[in-house]
Chains A and B, each alone.
Chain A
Amino acid sequence: MDSVAPFPHRQYAHCESGVVAALLTHYGLAISEPMVFGISGGLTFAYIPFIKITNLPIISYRMFPHAIIQGIQKRLGIRFRTHTYRDPARAHGELVTLLSEGRVVGLQTSVYWLPYFPDEMRFQFNAHNLIVYGMEDGQFLVSDPIADHLVRIAPADLENARFAKGTLAPRGFLYYPERVPSSIAMEEPIRKAIRKTAQMMLYAPVPLIGVKGIRTLAGRIERLRRHPDQRYVRNFLGHIVRMQEEIGTGGGGFRVMYAAFLQEAGETLGLPVLKEASLRMTEAGDLWRTFALACARACKRKGEPVDFTAIANLARQCADFEQQVFRMLRRIE
């Protein structure tokens, strides 16, 4: 295993959709990241006030980790081999064996333990995905979908990252697709995925998910006006944006990626309505950026008065845009 063919590295916007797109492409099915994201139904909005991380509610702009891996298997009928491990030594051994067989695999890791990440980004976040494609000089060769170049990692560091404890602990999670066809009829999976996402965004049974969730969050922002603790208010506003940015996605990044998916889907299906929905989703993405900017400004200015209603109204506008998009998409043929 001394000379490993260089992996055709590509930089993606999001780790899980990036790894799945890169793996499928590597195993013979050329597919874009937005297509993976859209078909697996990766988009959502969730505001969950009763589950807290560092005392702040969960605000998510995408589905939970592993949803993309699961979704793509379901929609495209491609099976992934997945493993979790209790024993790090066994996890290491099996990884080395797979690599020696020429396999390229995806791994779930904790960014806290990845030495090549900028220090400022090494938080306790256990659901980062990356690709290992070989070994050289005792180090693993890594294609990290959000990095702009290939990297290497020492086995001890990788072991720490794969066996970090805590929320969403990876437990050595390893995956790769089995028997990938070189072409798949995408039309039906696209339709089903779009209808499913539209259904969830419009008609979730609780007002914490989808466009209703966005409006609930807007109401929560408006009520911050009466909150006595300025430090908490700034933390909350910063938190909303940090969750939106996440690691590897730009402002409203998931909205924009969904717009890219709708554009590509429109060409595949030849449906003009998808093109229109894509334009509208792009506007929603831009508006999410304006919203993020407003939150960041309020978060930066200590002591100055903040117009919470204006910020809340931006979020409400985002909800309106997304509602229009998904009403268009609800009944596509």
Chain B
Amino acid sequence: MRIDETPQDHIRTLGGETKALYVLDDDGRYTTARTTGWEVEEIVLNQVIEDFQAKAEEARRRVRAGETSPIEYYMYKNWMDPLTLAQAMGLFRWQVRRHFRPAVFARLSEARLRAYARLFHIDVQMLKTLKEDP
């Protein structure tokens, strides 16, 4: 890729930041150029984000219906699946899946709830009630 072909698509997923890319200058020498992002990155990143959002909405509906706990909702909202959540919590996947059961969730210790809330960047009250952005 030549320097004048450096993509400048101002993608939203970079949040206004730039990245460095190796490109060829006019003399055919490699140099770095700043890019505001390439459309392709945004497409594939949005694709995975949309996938997680759809799963989060689905989970929210099931929390309301009493079929799962808010942990499942916040897990997808923070772009994790049961395995990554378990690893980030230092638990086994079956433990996390068990915590999805409303009856088990209701009995979770305060310390466990705090650990989940910390990981989701929210407080324990929000974790319990599913309320967001108060």
A256 contacts B22, C-beta separation under 8 Å: yes
Q: Is A124 an interface residue (CB 8 A)?
A: yes
A235 contacts B48, C-beta separation under 8 Å: yes
CA distance A253 to B1 in the complex (A): 11
A260 contacts B79, C-beta separation under 8 Å: no
Closest-CB distance, B72 to chain A (whole angstroms): 15
Residues of B within 8 A of A191 (CB): none
Q: Is B20 an interface residue (CB 8 A)?
A: yes
CA distance A248 to B39 in the complex (A): 15
Closest-CB distance, B53 to chain A (whole angstroms): 12
A147 contacts B17, C-beta separation under 8 Å: yes
CA distance A148 to B32 in the complex (A): 12
**Would you list which residues of chain B between 9 and 25 have a CB under 8 Å from chain A?**
12-24
- One of A61-69, A89-97, A197-205, A238-246 at the interface: A238-246
Total A-B Cβ pairs within 8 A:
126
- Chain A minimum-CB-distance residue to B5: A286
Q: Is B34 an interface residue (CB 8 A)?
A: yes
CA distance A55 to B80 in the complex (A): 11
Interface residues in A, total, Cβ within 8 A: 51
B29 contacts A285, C-beta separation under 8 Å: no
A166 contacts B81, C-beta separation under 8 Å: no
- One of A78-86, A135-143, A178-186, A288-296 at the interface: A288-296
B21 contacts A253, C-beta separation under 8 Å: yes
**Would you list which residues of chain B between 34 and 59 have a CB under 8 Å from chain A?**
34-35, 38-41, 43-45, 47-49, 51
B88 contacts A166, C-beta separation under 8 Å: yes
A251 contacts B43, C-beta separation under 8 Å: no
Closest-CB distance, A146 to chain B (whole angstroms): 6
- Chain A minimum-CB-distance residue to B24: A282
Q: Is B92 an interface residue (CB 8 A)?
A: no
A292 contacts B81, C-beta separation under 8 Å: no
CA distance A257 to B84 in the complex (A): 31
Residues of A within 8 A of B90 (CB): 165
Residues of B within 8 A of A120 (CB): 12-15, 45, 49
A299 contacts B43, C-beta separation under 8 Å: yes
Q: Is A54 an interface residue (CB 8 A)?
A: yes
- Chain B minimum-CB-distance residue to A52: B83
Closest-CB distance, B122 to chain A (whole angstroms): 14
A164 contacts B15, C-beta separation under 8 Å: no
Among the listed A165, A235, A241, A300, which residue makes an inter-chain contact with B51, where contact means beta carbons less than 8 Å apart? A235
- Chain B minimum-CB-distance residue to A165: B90
Q: Is A118 an interface residue (CB 8 A)?
A: yes
Q: Is A234 an interface residue (CB 8 A)?
A: yes
**Would you list which residues of chain A between 275 and 289 have a CB under 8 Å from chain B?**
282, 285-286, 289
A259 contacts B40, C-beta separation under 8 Å: no
| Apart from A231-B51, A256-B22, A300-B47: 18 A-B pairs, beta carbons within 8 A | A13-B20, A34-B22, A53-B84, A118-B13, A148-B20, A148-B34, A164-B88, A165-B90, A166-B87, A235-B51, A238-B48, A242-B48, A248-B19, A248-B20, A257-B22, A260-B22, A263-B29, A282-B24
The 3 closest A-B pairs by CB, nearest first: A118-B15, A166-B87, A260-B30
A residues in contact (CB < 8 Å) with B: 11-13, 34, 53-55, 112, 118-124, 146-148, 164-167, 231, 234-235, 238-239, 241-242, 245, 248, 250-251, 253, 256-257, 259-260, 263-264, 282, 285-286, 289, 292-293, 295-297, 299-300
Q: 24 A-B Cβ contacts within 8 A?
A: A11-B32, A12-B20, A13-B19, A34-B22, A34-B30, A118-B17, A121-B14, A121-B15, A124-B79, A124-B80, A147-B17, A148-B17, A148-B20, A235-B47, A235-B51, A241-B40, A241-B44, A250-B21, A250-B41, A256-B21, A259-B30, A263-B29, A263-B30, A295-B44
